Chain A
Amino acid sequence: MAEFFSDLTREERLPLVLTRLFEGYGYRRFRMSKFETYDIYNRHRNFIDGAGVVTFTDTDGRLMALKPDVTLSIAAGAGDVESEKKVYYFESIFRRDRNGELKELPQTGIECIGGDSAYAVYEAVSLALRSLKAIGGETMLTVGNLDFAQSFPAFSVLSAAEKKQAVREIGAKNFHGLSELAARSGVAEAEVDALAAAVSLTGGAEEVLERARLLAKNEAGRLALADTAALFAALSAAGLGQSVNLDFSLTNDLSYYNGIVFQGYVRGLPRAVLSGGQYDNMMRRLGKSMPAVGFALQLGELARIFVSEAETDCDVLLEYGDAPLCEVIRASDKLVEKGLRVRCVKTDPGGIRYTEKTVLSAGKGRA
C-alpha cells in the first residue's frame, strides 16, 4: 500500500488522506442517492440557496431534485435520540450557477450531530485545519462567531429583514453600509459605532480577542468571546495555532447557523474552498433540539491547483514503429511492472510530454 501511495499524485492522494483523517476521529462514511424528493430542499431553501436547485418529475408525479446539498439530508436523517452521529462523505452536488448553467460540484465534508458542543466544535475546526494542510501550499482558515455581533444592541433591535441586510453588509466588510443601515432604523450613533468596530476586528486570535473584550457590552457578548477564546486555546494546545485567523465579519444565514463559523482559503484560488460552522438553529427547525457542527470542502475548486502539477503525460514514450506486436507487449509490460507510466505509439505524434523516449526497431528490441 505504502509503495503505491508514493506513486500517486497529490490530487489522487487527497481523498485517501482525508478518509484516513476523518475515520481516525471516529467518523463513518455516509453515502446518498444522486436525487431526493424536492420537498425537503424547498422547505429549507434559504439554507441551501434554493434558487439553484435542479428539479425533474418522477414517473409518479413527485417533484425530485438532483441533490443540491448533503448536510440537510444527514441532519434530517439523524435520529431523535440523544446519541451522537458522526459521518463524513464524498459526494457530488448539483446546482445552477448565477447564469443558470448546470454545475456538478464534487465535495467532501463531515457532520457531527449531537454530543458535547465544545469538543465537537474544536474537532470540526481542527479537522478543517488538517484538511487544508493536506491540500498543501499556503492555506488560511478564518474563524468567526455569529453570537458576538448579535450580542450588540445595535444589531438585536433591527427587524428580521434589516438583520438579513446587516448580515450581508458585515460579510462584505461594508461597515460603512452597515452603519448607514443601522442609522436609518434609528439606532443611536454610539451603538452603531460599537457594532461596526466589533465586526471589523480581524487578525491573530490573541490580539483580536483582547480588543474585542474591550467592546463586549453584555453577558452574551462576553460568553461568545469566552467560547471563542477556549476554541483558540485548544487549537494552539494541539499545535494547530498557525494559519488560522479570527474574523468577526465572517457571517452566515442566522436562521440556520449560530456560534462558531469558519471558511478556508488556498492561496491562488479566488473563492473559499472550505466552509462550515455550528448549525443548531437548523436542527431546531427540523424539530430536533441538539447541537450540530460540520464543514464541506469543495474538491472541484482544488482541481485548478493540481492541474499544473502533472508536468509529464508519461514517464516513457515507447515508439514501436514496425516492431512485432509481441516485442512491443514484452517491452511495455516490463516497464509498467517497474512502476513507470508508459505510452506506446507507432510514431511519435509530437505534443506528448515524457521523461524518456524508447524506440523499438523491427526484430531488434531496443534501438
Chain B
Amino acid sequence: MLKIALPKGRLGDKVYKLFEGAGYACPELLTDSRKLIFTAADGRFCFMTVKPSDVPTYVERGAADIGVAGKDTVLEAGADIYELCDLGVGKCRMAVCGRPEGLSELGVPLKVATKFPHIAERYFAGLGRRIDVIKLSGSIELAPVIGLSDVIVDLVETGSTLRENNLEVLAVIHPISARLIANKSGYQFKRGEIDALVGKLRGRERT
C-alpha cells in the first residue's frame, strides 16, 4: 500500500483535488472528520494529513512513501529525499523583504527575522554576508517595522501584506510551489506504483 502524506489546510485541499483527478480518490478526506489516516476503499493507498512543515520529515523517515510539500519546507528541512515533480500549485516566492535601505552595509551583522532560518543562513552565506537570525513563528512583517530586524526572509504571494506595512521585495531567493517528494528507500521497492502516480499527476497538469 502506498502511504501518502498530505499537508493539512488550504494547500492540502488543492493537492487532494489533483490526486482525486488522477484517480486517487478518498472522499472521506473531505468530510469534517478528526481522523488523520484515510485508507482508499480498495486498499491501494492511504492518505495521512500532517502539519505542512512536517511532511519532509514523515517522508525522509519512511513513515510515508511519498508526500506533498511546498518547496519552502523542502529547502528548510534539507531532507535527503527524491523530489519527483512540481505540482504547479501553491505558487509563491521566497524573498528577502524590508525597507529599501534594509540591506545597506553597516559593518554589523544583518538582523534577519524569519520562519526559515536555514534558508536565510544559506542564502546570505552564499553572498558572504554575516547575519543574525531571529527565528519567529508568525507576523514576520512586524519585525522590520518596529526595528526588531533589518529585513525578513519570508514567502510572498501577492505582496499585499508587505505593501500595507510599507515593505517591499528586495531579492527573490527561490520560486516556490508544491512538490511531490518520495522516500529514497520506499521508491526502490514501490517504483512501479510511484511512477504510475507521477505519470497520472503530470498528465493532469498539462490539461
Binding site for B on A (CB under 8 A): 98, 138, 140, 142, 172-174, 176-177, 202-203, 245, 265-272
Contacts and interface: CB of A to CB of B under 8 A. Distances in A.
Contact of B185 (A176, A203, A270): A270
Given A173-B84, A174-B83, A176-B86, A138 B189 contact: yes
Interface string B22-61: 0000000000000000000000000000000000000011
Max chain B Cβ within 10 angstroms of own Cβ: one of A138, A140, A270, A271: A270
Majority secondary structure of chain A interface residues (helix, strand, loop or mixed): loop
Given A203-B191, A265-B185, A270-B183, A177 B83 contact: yes
A172 B82 contact: yes
B78 A267 contact: no
B186 interface: yes
Nearest to A203: B191
Majority secondary structure of chain B interface residues (helix, strand, loop or mixed): mixed
B184 A269 contact: no
Nearest to B80: A271
A270 B62 contact: yes
Contacts of A268: 62
A202 B185 contact: no
23 contacts: A142-B188, A172-B81, A172-B82, A173-B84, A174-B83, A174-B179, A176-B83, A176-B85, A176-B86, A177-B83, A203-B191, A265-B184, A265-B185, A265-B189, A267-B185, A267-B189, A269-B185, A270-B184, A270-B185, A270-B186, A271-B185, A272-B184, A272-B185
A140 B186 CA distance: 11
Contacts of B188: 140, 142, 245, 265
Contacts of A202: 191
Q: Is the interface on chain B under 10, 10 to 19, 20 to 34, or 35 or more residues?
A: 20 to 34
Max chain B Cβ within 10 angstroms of own Cβ: one of A174, A203, A269: A174
A140 B189 contact: yes
A163 to B, nearest CB: 16
Nearest to A161: B126
A174 B184 CA distance: 13
Given A267-B189, A271-B62, 16 more contacts: A172-B81, A176-B83, A202-B191, A203-B191, A265-B185, A266-B185, A268-B62, A269-B62, A270-B183, A270-B184, A270-B185, A270-B186, A271-B80, A271-B184, A272-B184, A272-B185
A185 B12 CA distance: 34
Nearest to A174: B83
Interface in B86-135: 86
Contacts of A140: 188-189
Contacts of A174: 82-83, 179
Contact of B60 (A177, A266, A269, A270): A270
A245 B78 CA distance: 26
